[in-house]
Amino acid sequence: MMAAVTASMRERTGRSLEDWVEEVRRAGLDPLDQKAVRAWLKDVHGVPQNSQWAIADAAARNAGWVRPDPDAYTDALYAGAKANLRPVHDAIIALAEGLGEDAHREGRSTYIPVVRRRQFVAVAPGPRNTVRVGFRFRTAPPEDERLSPATGFAQATHWLHLPADADEDDLRSLEPLLEAAYEQNA
């Protein structure tokens, strides 16, 4: 997607990506503060959202920023008081990635998605010492009393929360849900 946004940047914004990176520099913005760069692009220049993300990313990379790998994002999510949730997280990710060679995790600052062609599951620390597991279903999900509609979590349509002390049976019970989400997002 980023390549498509970059290729049509001049057409959509009147400037090339390189021109925008230079404009960010001239404006005196901190290119590592991508949120501030995106806000400036929107508020001052009316740049569309996908273009904002591409420009902010390019400006940060130009300033030496390197996107963390999924392990670094995961380490940050489960640092400190959330460290006890990491084993449950790792087990869920292993189950999801084990569904097929095309399933792989990516890194985000607030959750870890597992993607096939599309994101089909997202995992993150949840409330009250739980791990939040979000599923992206395109059709009705399998019956599971633990599922509820998701609100504002990754691309999830439904989610559930597993306690930090979830055991192997709890984790195995996720398999039908993971498989359904995996199949629906081919």
- Here the CATH number for the domain that contains residue 99 is 3.90.1150
Beta strands in 55-140 (DSSP E): 104-105, 112-115, 119-125, 130-135
Same domain, 78 and 159: yes
- Residue ending a domain, choose from 26, 42, 62: 62
The number of folded domains in the chain is 2
- Residue ending a domain, choose from 62, 86, 105: 62
Same domain, 108 and 168: yes
Same domain, 84 and 56: no
pLDDT at 173 over 80: yes
Same domain, 114 and 49: no
Structure-block tokens of residue 124: 């993150």
Q: What's the whole-model pTM score?
A: 0.77
Which H or E element spans position 53?
helix 49-62
Same domain, 137 and 86: yes
Q: 54-84: per-residue pLDDT in tens?
A: 999 999 999 999 988 999 999 999 999 999 9
Cβ-based neighbours of 144, under 8 Å, separated by 6 or more: 160, 173, 176, 177
Same domain, 22 and 58: yes
Cβ-based neighbours of 54, under 8 Å, separated by 6 or more: 2, 5, 6, 9, 17
Structure-block tokens of residue 89: 């997280």
Structural domain of 109: 70-184
